[in-house]
Amino acid sequence: MEGPVKAIILGYGIRGRAYAAYANTHPDEFEIAGLADPVAEFPADAKYPTWKSWEAALDAGVDADAVIISLPDRLHYPSCVKALGKGYHVLLEKPIGCTWGECLAIKKAQIEAKKLVLTGYVLRFAPFYKKLREVVSSGCIGELTSVHHLAAISYGKAAHAYCRGNWSVEAKGTGMLVNKCTHDFDLIEWWTKGKSIKKISSFGSLMHWRPENRPEGAADRCMDCPARVRDNCPFDAYKVYYERTDLRYHFADESDAAILKMIETSPYGRCVYACGNDSVDHQTVLMEYEGGLTIILEMESYSQQRTRITHFYGTRGEIIADEHKIEILPFLGDSTTIIPAQHGHHGGGDREIMTEFVKIIRMNPDPSRYTKILEAALESHRIAFLAEESRRTGTTIGGSSK
């Protein structure tokens, strides 16, 4: 196809803005055909239509090739099915659906529409994880026997998303494991390619951000909290958003004045012990694969750093990866450390996924290729939903066939 791929962006929050930025850096590849969001401030110089809802955008009959869905989780399923029905290709943020049933309905709609549904698995496209995959699949540590994978969220980010924010109440979305760790299950799917999963067990709970752990005298909002309580609270919104600045990217206006106002008035200024949250704050998943390979995935809120650390054990050595470097430690021969070049958000994954999205649409492959792309992405969701079933029922679940 000639010219840039034209896409309507549904949901102009953090993710929507990240994808929109590609139009500025790669105008020959990607053009915004419209933006939909009920509250966001749209660019003042926008030369495309804007709408207040995703439905209005899809009903407008705009000339576009694709739709990018960066809406809240619960809107992924209805908007994706409708966009496919209108004949658009879709870049769909994860989670694909809030239930396995919604995921399967999206698969059915994709097969009928014969269009691309690319899932927002930005890590899959990040140079670091591409390199790690290459190293793991090279066989340099023999046959994999076990993998220990930690998804450490950091106490500030976890409080933001899973205690005070969008994913604090499980019934409103997918639960923390599906929301956060479908990325990790997707990476695991890569590393175990060709092996089927036999059994899954999962344990997890909300241990700490509960009303009974609220310090004596704590107020409902951090700014009203007595100094003697607040000074001793690491989750104090003023410390998390004002003194530290690394979480400010969650807000359209990152200025000091706007952040202070946000702490005073928004849900993000609430006491973490008074948020009505029920999301787990930590969870472990144990998986057994055909041939005996075992994998542990640990999702943890209470970490200092936001990172992922993976330790691979094989019959001839180990690999340790920490999102910065990959250390290969063979039992025979010298150790090697690889530091893949990375720049941009999600280690470059935000940019690379857009490059891939545009490339696939322009390639216009056989529709069966589109189905394979979605099927590969769905496997991580299938496993994540099975893990949730295990946690909720207290049983070990058979992985069954793909």
Ligand X SMILES: NC(=O)c1ccc[n+]([C@@H]2O[C@H](COP(=O)([O-])OP(=O)(O)OC[C@H]3O[C@@H](n4cnc5c(N)ncnc54)[C@H](O)[C@@H]3O)[C@@H](O)[C@H]2O)c1
Name the residues that contact ligand X, by CB under 6 A: 10-16, 36-40, 53-54, 70-73, 93-94, 120, 122, 166, 179
Minimum distance from CB of 155 to ligand X (Å)?
18
Buried/exposed 47-64: b ≥16 CB within 10 Å, e otherwise: ebebbeebeebbeeebeb
Three-state SS string across 251-306, please? Answer: CCCCCHHHHHHHHHHCHHHECCCCCCCCCCCEEEEEEEEHHHCEEEEEEECCCCCC
Minimum distance from CB of 65 to ligand X (Å)?
20
Minimum distance from CB of 11 to ligand X (Å)?
3
- Looking at the Cβ atoms of 72 and 127, the one nearer to ligand X is 72
- Looking at the Cβ atoms of 278 and 327, the one nearer to ligand X is 278
- Looking at the Cβ atoms of 175 and 314, the one nearer to ligand X is 175
Minimum distance from CB of 14 to ligand X (Å)?
4
Nearest to 283 by CA among 86, 154, 151: 151
Indicate the burial class of 75 (C-beta count within 10 angstroms; 0-12, 13-18, 19 or more): middle
- Looking at the Cβ atoms of 34 and 314, the one nearer to ligand X is 34
List the structure tokens of 57: 């955008």
- Looking at the Cβ atoms of 99 and 166, the one nearer to ligand X is 166
What distance in Å separates the CA atoms of residue 60 and residue 292, rounded to the nearest whole number?
A: 53
List the structure tokens of 286: 């144990």
Sheet order of strands, 326-330 included: 336-338, 326-330, 317-321, 307-314, 144-152, 294-300, 282-289, 197-205, 397-398
Q: Residue 222 gets which letter from DSSP?
A: G
Minimum distance from CB of 337 to ligand X (Å)?
27
Minimum distance from CB of 17 to ligand X (Å)?
8
- Looking at the Cβ atoms of 62 and 286, the one nearer to ligand X is 62
Minimum distance from CB of 131 to ligand X (Å)?
19
Name the residue with the smallest CB distance to ligand X.
13
- Looking at the Cβ atoms of 31 and 186, the one nearer to ligand X is 186
- Looking at the Cβ atoms of 71 and 361, the one nearer to ligand X is 71
- Looking at the Cβ atoms of 263 and 293, the one nearer to ligand X is 263
Minimum distance from CB of 381 to ligand X (Å)?
12
What distance in Å separates the CA atoms of residue 56 and residue 39, rounded to the nearest whole number?
A: 14
- Looking at the Cβ atoms of 73 and 281, the one nearer to ligand X is 73
What distance in Å separates the CA atoms of residue 227 and residue 172, rounded to the nearest whole number?
A: 34
Minimum distance from CB of 32 to ligand X (Å)?
15
What distance in Å separates the CA atoms of residue 259 and residue 163, rounded to the nearest whole number?
A: 18
List the structure tokens of 371: 């189905």
Minimum distance from CB of 261 to ligand X (Å)?
17
Angle, CA 331 vertex, CA 286 and CA 147 arms, to 5° = 10
Tell me if the bond preceding 95 is cis, omega within 30° of 0. yes
What distance in Å separates the CA atoms of residue 376 and residue 381, rounded to the nearest whole number?
A: 10
